[in-house]
Structure 1
Amino acid sequence: MISLHEGVIPTIAKRKPYALVAITKHGVENARRYTEIFPYADLYYMKKFAYGDEDERQIQLFDGTVRLLLPALFQHYKGIICIISLGAVVRMIAPLLKDKKKDPAVLVVDDKGQYVISVLSGHIGGANALAGELARAIGALSVITTASDVQKTIPVDLFGAQFGWMWDSDEKLTPVSAAVVNEEHVAIVQEAGEKEWWIYDHPMPAHLKLYPSTKAAIEAKPAATLLITDRLIAPHEEVLLENGVVYRPKSLVLGIGCNRGTKVEELEQVVRDTLTALNLSIKSVKAVASIDLKKDEQGLLALTAKHNWSFVTYSAIELNEMPIQNRSETVYKYTGAYGVSEPAALRYARAKSLVLEKKKSGNVTISVARINFEEG
């Protein structure tokens, strides 16, 4: 926990490019939800609103006035998103402002999550772009008051943010952004995730070119690459990453069944081993799905909290509605369902087939499905 004192800039544990700060009960409730769908922000809120899972979710609590936290956030983050009233934010940040070329982006979100307001560093600091992406992610209206601001291309550091996509590494964000802005040849290869990411009312610029495969992109020799995939990158494809960014869409669902009392460490190891064997990235996991008998399974709750994954359970009737190949009378005897991991994954993913049919490992049974984004 961060203890705040006058005249002392606190030490913080920065992990992500943006900070999200809340100071009210409803603001905290919304902020916790926002980090599930907008994974670019470290979350800070007041100790008195603690849920008890903050360590697992890497949420930072503070005790004292938020005004004393802001100087540290200004020093370390590219942008600060405040679920605090606009007037209060303006008063608190005023003494911290230095130069529009150096100040971080500052946004304000109202307590009900209806509006996302770009407050500071709209152009150079990226607040306007961030406001637009965050608003799309949480279903709010962005409020941008700079008359000349019109987005015309892809914001590389926020590409797919409204869907929860996250880049693998920030190492090449700046040079790839420069290639996009300077209208150099940029290759875009998409293998997974939502397809409706071009959200502007004009055609995509000609220098941004879609390619059907990494092979085709390599042959085209682009100046930069945006690669959207849930699989691990092969050595021969790394040439694209010499000036490229890999984005991880939230495209995978893990169907999991386990014995009562299975430890989170065993669940974690099975998940990691399974995804590695399938050549898939753990960063692309969106959810864990299971039977409702497991809705209070502590290992599954800890696993999903640690990774900020959704945890969804279905009744035996709902699971039995899904067509599966590996029906089990034994599973039916104990649960009322002919399967758990396979139908749970298929139902959540709205998929007709599995990436991995059920695999038994110790106390855990796991299946993997890829989300069918064509059906909503």
Structure 2
Amino acid sequence: MNHVLLEGSVPNVVTRHDYALVAITKHGVALARKLQGVFQQTDLYYMKKFEKGDESAKHIQLFEGSVRLLLPALFKEYKGIILIISLGAVVRMIAPILKDKKTDPGVVVLDDKGQYAISVLSGHLGGANELTKEIAALLGATPVITTASDVQKTIPVDLFGKRFGWVWDSAEKLTPVSASVVNEERVAIVQESGEKGWWEQDRPMPAHLFTVPSIAEALQHKPDAALVITHRLLTQEEQGILTNGVLYRPKVVILGIGCNRGTSQEEIQQVIEETLTELRISIKSVKGIATINLKSDEQGLLDTVARFNWDFTCYTPEQLNEVTIEDPSQTVYKYTGAYGVSEPAAKLASGASALELVKKKSGNVTISVGLISHE
């Protein structure tokens, strides 16, 4: 069990991500657990008396005693801190540990019901105001931002696409690319897949940010920096765009899976990894696994989706049979009541009429791959 010790002046915190999420009430803990599920890059801390029993598996850190003792350590370790604590209490607790706006982390306060997200302390690049907007969008809350100078209305590189579940391929270039955006250098935005509604400002996108349909075209423009959104593994020629670029992985890939009873997690994962490598698709872009409801209790599948935090969708044979497929099987129908599992499941969950991979059988696993379109 991860347990934060608040004895002495240096609490034992274990950092895994850029943001800390802290709750101290029953309702606050419920909200924090919900938020952690949809907002990546957060380490969750809450009081031990609200322990649920799954904290170790979820890397949740428990503490006893006053949260005031925990905050100095969090300030040193995290880029941003989200506190589900009353605003007045937060102001009193953080006042003694503030240093300066260049080094203090961004601090955002949420009420117990998640109705308001309040930007309290804006830190370095990608600070509290942008974090507030992202959290508010995820929770359907009202963002409260009172600073005038921080309303640049541009793209927060480190939070770009977070509300959609996008993840970075690497954080190596976040800082220099962020500097290019803020300093109004020419930044190319290449989007091959993923949600399109990422520009939500009330003004047109600044001229120094420009969109292009392909990496090849972006390279021709010789931009100062680039934001690339794709599920694909880049070719060697395309890698040049990442000299000063950040690669984002949207969650657009659905894996239709069928397997024999008792197939291990290791075999399922091996087939998935090998298949995606063959298709030159990043595993970070997988949104979920889809299968037949007869496999809803298949431990190997359950362990796989739990490990990667993927969606797990199960369909009835009747639902699967409503889908037109290329390779119906009488044998599969005999045992499941469906003429196919992986292929129709992938089509249903992705909404794709044509799959990236219709069907491949490997050992005890059959896999199909669909791509969610956001056109």
TM-score by length of 1: 0.92
Q: Which residue of 1 aligns with 2:199?
A: 198
Q: Which residue of 1 aligns with 2:353?
A: 352
**Amino acid paired to 1:155:** P
Q: Which residue of 1 aligns with 2:159?
A: 158
Q: Which residue of 2 aligns with 1:64?
A: 64
The 1:8/1:290 distance shift into structure 2, 3 A limit, reads: farther
| Residue 53 (structure 1) shift | 4.5
The 1:46/1:356 distance shift into structure 2, 3 A limit, reads: farther
**Amino acid paired to 2:197:** E
Q: Which residue of 1 aligns with 2:28?
A: 27
Q: Which residue of 1 aligns with 2:321?
A: 320
Moved more, 62-71 or 183-192: 62-71
Q: Take 1:300 and 1:263, find their aligned partners in 2: how far apart are those partners?
A: 8
Alignment of 1:265-280 (within 5 A): 265-280=266-281
Structure 1: gaps spanning 5 or more residues: none
The 1:244/1:100 distance shift into structure 2, 3 A limit, reads: same
The 1:190/1:82 distance shift into structure 2, 3 A limit, reads: same
Q: Take 1:53 and 1:298, find their aligned partners in 2: how far apart are those partners?
A: 18
**Amino acid paired to 1:89:** V
| Residue 142 (structure 1) shift | 0.9
| Residue 130 (structure 1) shift | 0.8
Q: Take 1:104 and 1:222, find their aligned partners in 2: how far apart are those partners?
A: 30
The 1:311/1:82 distance shift into structure 2, 3 A limit, reads: farther
Q: Which residue of 2 aligns with 1:77?
A: 78
The 1:353/1:52 distance shift into structure 2, 3 A limit, reads: farther
The 1:230/1:117 distance shift into structure 2, 3 A limit, reads: same
Equivalent pair of 1:56/1:306 in contact (CA under 8 Å): no
The 1:221/1:257 distance shift into structure 2, 3 A limit, reads: same
Name the SS of the counterpart of 1:189 in structure 2: strand
The 1:347/1:77 distance shift into structure 2, 3 A limit, reads: same
Q: Which residue of 2 aligns with 1:337?
A: 338
Equivalent pair of 1:107/1:119 in contact (CA under 8 Å): yes
**Amino acid paired to 2:61:** L
Equivalent pair of 2:126/2:157 in contact (CA under 8 Å): no
Q: Take 2:51 and 2:311, find their aligned partners in 1: how far apart are those partners?
A: 20
Moved more, 133-142 or 343-352: 133-142
Q: Take 2:4 and 2:291, find their aligned partners in 1: how far apart are those partners?
A: 39
Alignment of 1:364-375 (within 5 A): 364-374=365-375
Equivalent pair of 1:56/1:305 in contact (CA under 8 Å): no
Equivalent pair of 1:40/1:166 in contact (CA under 8 Å): no
Q: Take 1:69 and 1:106, find their aligned partners in 2: how far apart are those partners?
A: 14
**Amino acid paired to 2:20:** A
**Amino acid paired to 1:75:** K
Q: Take 2:30 and 2:259, find their aligned partners in 1: how far apart are those partners?
A: 30
Q: 1:45-72 CA deviation, whole Å, 9 max, x = no partner?
A: 3445455544444x22313133333332
Q: Take 1:32 and 1:297, find their aligned partners in 2: how far apart are those partners?
A: 26
| Residue 180 (structure 1) shift | 1.1
The 1:52/1:368 distance shift into structure 2, 3 A limit, reads: farther
The 1:91/1:241 distance shift into structure 2, 3 A limit, reads: same
Name the SS of the counterpart of 1:193 in structure 2: coil
Q: Take 1:342 and 1:24, find their aligned partners in 2: how far apart are those partners?
A: 46
**Amino acid paired to 2:247:** V
Name the SS of the counterpart of 1:215 in structure 2: helix
Q: Take 2:233 and 2:164, find their aligned partners in 1: how far apart are those partners?
A: 20
Q: Which residue of 2 aligns with 1:169?
A: 170
Q: Take 2:94 and 2:302, find their aligned partners in 1: how far apart are those partners?
A: 38
Q: Take 1:73 and 1:168, find their aligned partners in 2: how far apart are those partners?
A: 25
Q: Take 2:60 and 2:164, find their aligned partners in 1: how far apart are those partners?
A: 24
Q: Which residue of 1 aligns with 2:44?
A: 43
Equivalent pair of 2:116/2:141 in contact (CA under 8 Å): yes
The 1:243/1:64 distance shift into structure 2, 3 A limit, reads: same
TM-score by length of 2: 0.92
Name the SS of the counterpart of 1:256 in structure 2: strand
| Residue 247 (structure 1) shift | 0.7
Q: 1:7-42 CA deviation, whole Å, 9 max, x = no partner?
A: 142333323211222344443443333334322322
**Amino acid paired to 1:60:** I
RMSD: 2.1
Q: Take 2:253 and 2:35, find their aligned partners in 1: how far apart are those partners?
A: 20
Q: Take 2:258 and 2:364, find their aligned partners in 1: how far apart are those partners?
A: 8
Q: Which residue of 2 aligns with 1:303?
A: 304
The percent identity for this pair of structures is: 64
The 1:308/1:53 distance shift into structure 2, 3 A limit, reads: farther
Alignment of 1:111-122 (within 5 A): 111-121=112-122
**Amino acid paired to 2:338:** A
Structure 2: gaps spanning 5 or more residues: none
The 1:146/1:215 distance shift into structure 2, 3 A limit, reads: same
The 1:363/1:52 distance shift into structure 2, 3 A limit, reads: farther
Name the SS of the counterpart of 1:235 in structure 2: coil
Name the SS of the counterpart of 2:158 in structure 1: helix
